Structure 1
Amino acid sequence: MLYFFKSNTVARKVLSISTVLLISAFAVTGTPSYAAVPTAETAVSASSQQSSTASSNISYLENRFGLHLSAAPTVDEYIGALGKLLKEQAPSLSGDSAPLTQGNAVSLAIKAAGLEELADTYSPEKAAASLKKAGIQDVNVLGADATRELAAAVDTGLLPVGAAKSFKADSQADNVFAANLLAGVLSFHGDYKSYIGSVLDDDIFAKLNDAYDTQELVLAAELQKIFDEGLKQGLFTGYNIKDKRYEAHFDPALSLTYGHSDLKHAIQLIGLLRSEGIQAKVQLEPKTSAFVYLQEWGTPEESDDYKVVQIENGNYIAYAKEYDLALEFESAADKEQFDSLVNQYAKKDSEDEAGLIAASWWQPLYYSLPATSNYTEISNNRIDSGEYYAQSFSLKKDTASIAEGLKKLAPDAEVHTYNFWVDAPFYRYLNGESS
């Protein structure tokens, strides 16, 4: 959901300084693995290697990481991009960098993806067979190490099929070629797009059920202690806890997040999108919703998916299993259409309203990180702890006081505050309106 936070541990995801230095030295000193000298020829046309997914990686890197690649990247630029994606500080470079060749780009990507040992297992015969199968012809210009690395990149999919067919080791790597490799590096670190399937998949409903059934109530004692105290003090009326390891990492410009508690609703919502011919990637992110359960409501009944803790005034804090349905659409128009579909078929306006999908809410909750038509800007305060984070949405005018309250409760914790865009009914809910 929150694209600027990593989903795995730092140890798994970050390229070490020593490795970056090794890559830097390898690139700047002339690439000893290659016999050919890098040239500054015009960027290679990527027309033969662009699939809809591959060509979108340029915008994906821009939208998610703010990474802008030039049409013909240099070695320095590429190393800097790797450092940024893996949240590692690259060493100072000369600024007088050689052009980035396709061969260099692959070799650097192999190292950044952590595939060096795999590449070392390739015999000359195995590497040659892999490259021949992929249609790579100019293997004679490659040294032994580079041949093994290229073969490993082909076999693991780090180098996409289309790019492999047009691969030329000493040709300039253009921004599409570089972006596809950078996306591949993210994938090997578990930080690329993660999803259970797509709306129009034949088995999407089975996958949705399987994902929900294997997800448990998300609990994080350290975070609960902080945010529960916030509930008691009236800083906010509710919060949720999420597990970063399930984050979709979708392109923020094309995606939104839809929250609910009933699986039947998610199934029918996907069915609604199918009936409208709307395709989108789907990820089910587990979430626990925490709120005050008043004593006068009676004794709460606990289950595996619903826990309560009684507090000093006799009320309870309840923890309920919910989910966020992350969706990445194929176009901005489809993302915009989602709002009208929900308002027509998944938003309750009267108690006995007909023509809605199951378990529709009075105030459905869905949101987008960048500005979106018909949505309103609100705020979030979030604290991370290991693989988990807790957060509470609020009106912008209340953000500063909530952040200040959380900092008083947890002086050593870092409170991340940012704005995002939410659907109109939920915005009205935050303003105290009933529908």
Structure 2
Amino acid sequence: MSTIKASLSKSILAASLSLAVLFAAPGQQAHGEAVSQAQVSQLSVHSPQENYALFLKEKFQIEIGDSITKGDFIQAVAQALNIRPSENAPLPFTDLDAANPAYAASVALHEQGILTASEVHADRRLDVLQAAFIAVKAAGLKELAYTYPNDKVEAALSKLGLNPAAFDFSAAQEIAAAVDNGLIAPAYYGIFSGNPPATKAFTEELLGKVLALKGQYKHYLGEVNDPDIYGKLAQAYRTSDIIEAPALQQIVNNALENGLVTGYNLKDSRFDPNFIDSLSLTYGHSNIEHALQLVGLLRSEGLNAKVQLEPKTSAFIHLAEWGKPEESETNKLTQIANGNYIFSAKEYDLSLEFENAGDKERFQSVILQYAKKNSEDQTGLIVHSWWQPLYYSLTEIDDYEIIANNKIVDGHYYAQSFTLQEDSESIAEGFRNLSPDIEVINYTFWVDKPFYHYLTGEDFK
């Protein structure tokens, strides 16, 4: 682990210790095998359905086949929404036993009121109406649906070419709510009158929209190319505060005092973007003007991306010999026993999900040319560019270096510190010595070389 040199300026020190990582380690997430960059490049993701397909694969290891049964769909819904049956739940179905692969998921969805019939017909080919009936209840729209009067039902079903009289009224209400709330995309309106088997594309998009309506899809302010993204970004930063998490801070402040780590940061998982890892990067900084210009830079370079601002607070040791810094709305001081201070600064992570893997890879060349400081008098950079810009990926990417994160969690808050891989286990052990009951989450990820060089102490610039 590198040591902080007293000759560094305070601003460079704060920049270099801007240590943050995305919401969870790959090993923690519910999804299974990672998708390689090559696979993502082949997908060349652009359409909503392709985005949903990749999201389902990366987050949950759900892959929809060309021929999907009702049982397959039930299992996918339960897995995506993390719905499990209660212990000793009774079997409510007459055509399903515990040996069926769809058994547990069907019981779980029945307990949630998503399945209501006494028969599942798990082995039958899924049709579009069955999928819609399950999806509207899984998305949490059931109560809304049952408020629909006749005229609203008729208006919605007419878009699908369906006659409301062909359904029980509650079923017609459910289909109407699915139409009005976007579960059924206009591109599929024309197929419903024949009730064909659900295709792979239809099913993937329907599952993705269920997650979106439940608030379990991606969370972001907008996209680089949106005309209002600058205002949204500035407002998100302006309304964020220095994060306070006393239980975690006691542990990591002790780690700072004892020299176990040189810095740490605090984040709040409620701001996690839930992006597709193989298409995403996270970029850390402290100045919002830099973020606004970075968005403009990406726009000028033709790199569109979804944008989420994640508030964070970075902390490091400020030596007493440097003088006492002033506190403000963006920083806080805590004096420790030896007379030094723990300096906590308001910062942010800018999470970016690109449209394809090629754009993600090209991000680095743009940063190194326009946002990486190499000399004191350098011109042609966006405002407040750093000597060691910090950006990283949770999936492998060429010309990046592997480092480790050491993370502890308390509710929706977490504290973490970035280190070299070889130092990770000793830091984890140090955290456990400070707090024996704490769980330390360690994992590796890929970071830009300038920040890696800072950690190694090889190259300050």
Do the structures match in fold with TM over 0.5?
A: yes
Match of 1:110 in 2: 136
Q: Rate the CA distance shift 1:173–1:407 in 2: closer, same or farther, 3 A.
A: farther
Residue of structure 1 aligned with 2:296, choices 229, 254, 271 = 271
How far did residue 423 of structure 1 move? 0.8
Residue of structure 2 aligned with 1:59, choices 31, 54, 59 = 54
Match of 2:92 in 1: none
Q: Verify the 8 A CA contact 1:119 1:151 in the aligned structure 2.
A: yes
| 1:213-250 deviation digits (Å, cap 9, x = unpaired) | 11111221111112112212222111111111211111
Instruction: Give the whole-Å Cα distance in 2 for the aligned partners of 1:294 and 1:154.
Output: 62
Q: Rate the CA distance shift 1:65–1:429 in 2: closer, same or farther, 3 A.
A: farther
| 1:304-338 deviation digits (Å, cap 9, x = unpaired) | 21011111111111111001111111111111111
- Please give the TM-score of this superposition, normalised by the length of structure 1: 0.84
Match of 1:407 in 2: 432
Report the residue type matching 1:59 in the other structure.
L
Report the residue type matching 1:237 in the other structure.
T
Number of equivalenced pairs: 390
Describe how 1:270-309 pairs up with structure 2 within 5 A. Answer: 270-309=295-334
Pair 1:422-2:417 in alignment? no
Residue of structure 1 aligned with 2:100, choices 91, 94, 101 = 94
Match of 1:70 in 2: 65
Q: Verify the 8 A CA contact 1:380 1:417 in the aligned structure 2.
A: yes
How far did residue 168 of structure 1 move? 5.2
Instruction: Give the whole-Å Cα distance in 1 for the aligned partners of 2:161 and 2:448.
Output: 50
How far did residue 269 of structure 1 move? 0.9
Q: Rate the CA distance shift 1:344–1:365 in 2: closer, same or farther, 3 A.
A: same
Q: Verify the 8 A CA contact 1:293 1:317 in the aligned structure 2.
A: yes
Match of 1:207 in 2: 232
Describe how 1:262-411 pairs up with structure 2 within 5 A. Answer: 262-411=287-436
Match of 2:257 in 1: 232
Q: Which ranges in structure 1 are unaligned for 5 or more consecutive residues?
A: 6-49
Q: Rate the CA distance shift 1:367–1:168 in 2: closer, same or farther, 3 A.
A: farther
Instruction: Give the whole-Å Cα distance in 1 for the aligned partners of 2:444 and 2:166.
Output: 51
Partner SS, residue 420 of structure 1: strand
Pair 1:258-2:253 in alignment? no
Partner SS, residue 166 of structure 1: helix
Instruction: Give the whole-Å Cα distance in 2 for the aligned partners of 1:85 and 1:414.
Output: 26
Pair 1:216-2:241 in alignment? yes
Residue of structure 1 aligned with 2:216, choices 154, 179, 191 = 191
Instruction: Give the whole-Å Cα distance in 1 for the aligned partners of 2:250 and 2:70.
Output: 47
Instruction: Give the whole-Å Cα distance in 2 for the aligned partners of 1:154 and 1:120.
Output: 14
Report the residue type matching 1:275 in the other structure.
S
Q: Rate the CA distance shift 1:349–1:161 in 2: closer, same or farther, 3 A.
A: same
Pair 1:128-2:154 in alignment? yes
Instruction: Give the whole-Å Cα distance in 2 for the aligned partners of 1:313 and 1:93.
Output: 65
Q: Verify the 8 A CA contact 2:22 2:282 in the aligned structure 1.
A: no
Match of 1:173 in 2: 198
Q: Verify the 8 A CA contact 2:285 2:390 in the aligned structure 1.
A: yes
How far did residue 52 of structure 1 move? 1.3
Which shows bigger deviation, 396-405 or 255-264? Answer: 396-405
Q: Verify the 8 A CA contact 2:277 2:394 in the aligned structure 1.
A: yes
| 1:147-184 deviation digits (Å, cap 9, x = unpaired) | 21111111122333323443357422222222222222
| 1:67-93 deviation digits (Å, cap 9, x = unpaired) | 222222222322222222223335856
Instruction: Give the whole-Å Cα distance in 1 for the aligned partners of 2:46 and 2:181.
Output: 18
Instruction: Give the whole-Å Cα distance in 2 for the aligned partners of 1:169 and 1:293.
Output: 70
Report the residue type matching 1:130 in the other structure.
A
Instruction: Give the whole-Å Cα distance in 2 for the aligned partners of 1:82 and 1:191.
Output: 12
How far did residue 266 of structure 1 move? 0.7
How far did residue 262 of structure 1 move? 0.6
Describe how 1:18-97 pairs up with structure 2 within 5 A. Answer: 52-89=47-84, 94-95=100-101, 97=123
Q: Rate the CA distance shift 1:305–1:138 in 2: closer, same or farther, 3 A.
A: same
Q: Verify the 8 A CA contact 2:153 2:164 in the aligned structure 1.
A: no
| 1:267-321 deviation digits (Å, cap 9, x = unpaired) | 1111111111211111111111111111111112111210111111111111110
Q: Rate the CA distance shift 1:121–1:93 in 2: closer, same or farther, 3 A.
A: farther
Q: Rate the CA distance shift 1:414–1:167 in 2: closer, same or farther, 3 A.
A: farther
Match of 1:24 in 2: none
Q: Rate the CA distance shift 1:426–1:167 in 2: closer, same or farther, 3 A.
A: farther
Q: Verify the 8 A CA contact 2:406 2:441 in the aligned structure 1.
A: yes
Pair 1:2-2:22 in alignment? yes
Q: Verify the 8 A CA contact 1:365 1:426 in the aligned structure 2.
A: yes
Instruction: Give the whole-Å Cα distance in 2 for the aligned partners of 1:365 and 1:138.
Output: 58
Q: Verify the 8 A CA contact 2:46 2:355 in the aligned structure 1.
A: no
Q: Verify the 8 A CA contact 2:23 2:269 in the aligned structure 1.
A: no
Pair 1:154-2:179 in alignment? yes
Instruction: Give the whole-Å Cα distance in 2 for the aligned partners of 1:165 and 1:396.
Output: 55
Partner SS, residue 412 of structure 1: coil
Report the residue type matching 2:22 in the other structure.
L
Q: Rate the CA distance shift 1:51–1:299 in 2: closer, same or farther, 3 A.
A: closer
Tell me: higher relative CO, structure 1 or 2? Use CA pairs within 8 A at least 6 residues apart: 2
Match of 1:33 in 2: none
Across the aligned residues of Structure 1 and Structure 2, the Cα RMSD in angstroms comes to 2.2
Instruction: Give the whole-Å Cα distance in 2 for the aligned partners of 1:357 and 1:388.
Output: 32
